A and B are shown apart, each in its own frame.
Chain A
Amino acid sequence: MVPLLVVVTLFYLYPATQVFRFSFTNASLLREDHRYGLESYARVLTGPAFLHVVWITLIFVLVSIALQLTLGLVIALAVQHGTRRGLRGTGLIRTLVLTSWVMPGIVIGVIWQIVLNSGSYGLVNSVLASAGLPRVGFLTGSTMALWSVIVANVWRGTAFSMILQYAGLQAIDPVLYEAAEVDGASRWQSFWRVTLPSLRPILMINLVLISIQTFNTFDMILALTGGGPGRATEVLALHTYNVIFRAFSLGQGSVLAVVMLALSLLFTLVYVRLLRTEDRL
């Protein structure tokens, strides 16, 4: 136990208490002295940027996880069907989807920056141009940029949902499907009445895990849009970084970090509760 406890104390517990301490100061990275007070909280929570950042983060997380869950389940169903029927290319597809998941986040940002660019080397815009359609500023328009970031995140995260859903599908007792078929259920009906209810526990676990992963996303967005244009894609993690390391405001950045910490704790509690009701802990 000792090695783990040392690591945890030095690198988690102590830093976490320090983040709390800094959040009650007006500390800056540029000077040593600081005084205590609620000034940083007041500034952050009433500042114009905060609500915008929360809103952007909310859209980014909700849309990303909805798409990842759906797409992950659809691909898992296809892979399962393909494996059962011995369809060619099934293994290849699974590997392809997983490849985008093991890649460094920064590289994912770089790839999508190249693919969506308006320059001649942008894949999507080159396709549009060759079809005689006007070019689209995927990374330069505010709404478009947010969608681009979401698409890149779905590209990165879908594989994780796929493997969890696939494992969940494998665990469903085939007898249930046979019974449904005997009762004259259509494919569609047995999906709604058998597949989805059986997957519920794993879908819930999946939901919590990808929420927190998406919520903590930082590197991919930095490489793709840098949070821009303006603040159009500046999610909470990126905003926290910018406040501390670009604006050097340790106090205000720590307030944001406390918000992040509180949210992770909330996610953990939900997750633990889920594991407990499903009797997995």
Chain B
Amino acid sequence: MISPRRRTGDLLTYAVFAFCVLFFGLPLLWLISLSVRTPAEVYTASLNMVPQEPTLFNYGSVLGSGRFQGYLLNSLRLTLAGSIGAMIAAAPAAYAASRIDFRGRRFFLIAVLSLQMISPLVIMIPLYRYYAQLDLLDSHLSASFVYIAILVPLATWMLKGFFDGIPTELDEAALVDGCNRLQAFRRVILPVSVPGFAAVFVLTAILAWGEFIVPYILLSEPAMQPISVGILAFQGSYAQTATQILAAAAVLAMLPAIAVFIALQRFIIAALTAGAVKG
């Protein structure tokens, strides 16, 4: 027997769910619907979510264009370089902040946190000038370093959280056995924190995939730009004339981030909330 109190709870819950489907779901569904329409059906303002003649033609023409393939490939390169680089730069510092009680440790952690609050736009202003003077614009290698810089604060905080969760007895045992700190870190801590690294990798990769300001400012050559900047160019050329093409491009641009996220959802949420809830 369900109490009336529970039943109103259920009803309210479903009311909220219905709102979520409408507000969060409909725009996505509309985008997908447009992406499988023929041009004629885009302009008849048909509200049918499933078009009368669904077609994959738009996807074919987007994927078939060398420009779009280039965008995807550039995104992949920048994302991998940024995420992996950020972990490499962050791991030693995160380990030190977790294990060694050095002077100014708290200040260090707060300083790293404050970096994360800074808008990338602010640091991009002088960087653009110096990159231009050093002739480093339109290079993936030099852009990757800025990606790394932007992802490093988050990576440091998250990794420190993981290292905090590993019992110190593990490193102590290694130190007693004659390892130095570096060896203890490499042989004992790294292997057990693989899940931690994986979570940091996925989260920073999702951020890097969507990163916009850095490539928008540093990469002006269309052949070098990632998908986030490329989509803006697509919007410029297709928004009015061929919305179905733009819709297909937008779906393809968000697909990798969403697919990775859905596959590893629990993992990421646990990592993310651990920082905020437990500190």
Which A positions have Cβ atoms within 8 angstroms of B? Answer: 1-8, 10-12, 14-16, 18-19, 22, 29, 74-75, 77-78, 81-82, 85, 87, 89-90, 93, 95-100, 102-107, 110-115, 119-121, 123, 126-127, 129-130, 155, 163-164, 166-168, 171, 187, 202, 205-206, 209, 212, 215-216, 218-219, 222-223, 237, 240-241, 244-245, 250, 253-254, 257, 260-261, 264-265, 267-268, 271-272, 275, 278-281
Nearest CB on A from B68, distance (A): 14
Q: Give Cα distance in the complex from A166 to B34, angstroms.
A: 34
Q: Give Cα distance in the complex from A148 to B169, angstroms.
A: 54
Q: Give Cα distance in the complex from A120 to B46, angstroms.
A: 8
**30 CB-based A-B contacts, threshold 8 Å:** A3-B88, A4-B89, A4-B112, A7-B148, A18-B126, A22-B126, A78-B13, A96-B20, A99-B258, A99-B262, A103-B254, A104-B253, A105-B212, A106-B229, A107-B231, A114-B243, A114-B246, A121-B34, A130-B45, A163-B269, A168-B277, A187-B8, A206-B276, A216-B119, A216-B120, A241-B121, A250-B125, A261-B118, A272-B110, A275-B279
Please state if B212 and A202 are interface contacts (CB–CB under 8 Å).
Answer: no
Within 8 Å of chain A (Cβ to Cβ): is B31? yes
User: Given A120-B42, A261-B118, 10 other A-B contacts at CB below 8 A?
Assistant: A12-B115, A78-B12, A99-B28, A103-B258, A106-B212, A129-B45, A164-B276, A223-B235, A250-B129, A264-B122
B contact patch SS: helix
Which B positions have Cβ atoms within 8 angstroms of A? Answer: 5-6, 8-10, 12-14, 16-17, 20-21, 23-28, 30-31, 34, 42-45, 47, 88-90, 92-93, 96, 106, 109-115, 117-123, 125-127, 129, 145-146, 148-149, 152, 156, 206, 209-210, 212-213, 216-217, 227-229, 231-232, 235, 239-240, 243, 246-247, 250, 253-254, 257-258, 261-262, 265, 269, 272-273, 276-279
- In this complex, the member of B13, B34, B258, B273 whose beta carbon has the largest number of chain A beta carbons within 10 angstroms is B13
Known: A11-B149, A245-B217. A110 touches B115 (CB 8 A): no
Chain A neighbourhood of B13, CB < 8 A: 78, 81-82, 85, 87
Q: Give Cα distance in the complex from A205 to B12, angstroms.
A: 27
Nearest CB on A from B81, distance (A): 13
Please state if B10 and A81 are interface contacts (CB–CB under 8 Å).
Answer: yes
Known: A81-B13, A96-B20, A167-B273. A257 touches B127 (CB 8 A): no
Q: Give Cα distance in the complex from A43 to B31, angstroms.
A: 44
Chain A neighbourhood of B25, CB < 8 A: 96
Chain A neighbourhood of B17, CB < 8 A: 78, 82, 89-90, 93
Chain B neighbourhood of A209, CB < 8 A: 276
Q: Give Cα distance in the complex from A42 to B33, angstroms.
A: 51
Nearest CB on A from B226, distance (A): 9
Known: A82-B17, A96-B25. A1 touches B235 (CB 8 A): no
Known: A78-B16, A85-B10, A100-B24. A164 touches B42 (CB 8 A): no
Q: Give Cα distance in the complex from A67 to B109, angstroms.
A: 31
Nearest CB on B from A204, distance (A): 11
Please state if A98 and B265 are interface contacts (CB–CB under 8 Å).
Answer: yes
Q: Give Cα distance in the complex from A71 to B191, angstroms.
A: 40
Chain A neighbourhood of B253, CB < 8 A: 104, 106-107
Nearest CB on A from B219, distance (A): 14
Chain A neighbourhood of B92, CB < 8 A: 1-4
Chain B neighbourhood of A275, CB < 8 A: 279
